[in-house]
Amino acid sequence: MACRISDLVLACRDPEALARFWCEVLDFVVLARGEDGVEIGPREASGDPQPVIVLIRDDEPAKGRLRLHIDVAATDRDQDAELERLLAAGAEPVDVGQTGKEPWHVLADPEGNEFCLLGGRLDPL
């Protein structure tokens, strides 16, 4: 038997603000709130093993780039339209040394956590 990812935990300064951003990006909802964090996940139980994201308060400044990042892909529109949507939601383009020929876009969430918008589409869950 193997493990599977159940939660992705992200330390941040403002869990509520980051929860709003990632709920918009992923079409998630708030599942639980605690004193120091917010848990977000899919709107409906789909039966698929999709991890939830737990955003926990951490007032310490980030130290360098994260060594792990999230990749996202659109489910219902092309990459250009999805890029426009993510930028409108508060994502910012990030230059990490890409050549401009990559089939993905490197972005950052409102707290500077990098993620990539891939070129292909995924089937909705």
Does 11 have pLDDT greater than 60?
Answer: yes
- The number of beta carbons lying within 10 Å of the beta carbon of residue 11 is 18
Looking at residue 65, what is its pLDDT?
A: 74
Handedness of CA 85, 81, 114, 68 (dihedral sign): positive
- The number of beta carbons lying within 10 Å of the beta carbon of residue 15 is 23
* Average pLDDT, integer, range 55-73: 85
Higher pLDDT, 44 or 119: 119
The tokens describing 82, both together, are 């999805």
Its CATH class, for the domain covering 69-125, is: alpha beta
Domain boundaries, the chain: 1-58, 69-125
CA distances, 121 to each of 32, 79, 104 (Å)? 29, 8, 12
Per-residue pLDDT band at 3 (split at 50, 70, 90): confident
Looking at residue 47, what is its pLDDT?
A: 60
Domains 1-58 and 69-125 share a fold: yes
Q: Which fold has domain 1-58?
A: 2,3-Dihydroxybiphenyl 1,2-Dioxygenase; domain 1 (3.10.180)
Does 23 have pLDDT greater than 80?
Answer: yes
The tokens describing 123, both together, are 């089937």
Looking at residue 101, what is its pLDDT?
A: 92
For 90, how many CA atoms within 13 A lie in the half-sphere containing its CB?
Answer: 14
* pLDDT, tens digit, 9 for 90 and up, residues 80-122: 999 999 999 999 999 999 998 999 999 999 999 999 999 877 7
pTM: 0.87
Quick one: DSSP state of residue 125? -
Looking at residue 15, what is its pLDDT?
A: 96
What type of residue is 81? A
- Separation CA 51–CA 41 (nearest Å): 7
Does 29 have pLDDT greater than 80?
Answer: yes
Nearest 10 degrees: Cα torsion 73, 74, 78, 80: -70
CB neighbour class for 19 (10 Å; exposed up to 12, middle 13-18, buried from 19): buried
* Average pLDDT, integer, range 52-73: 87
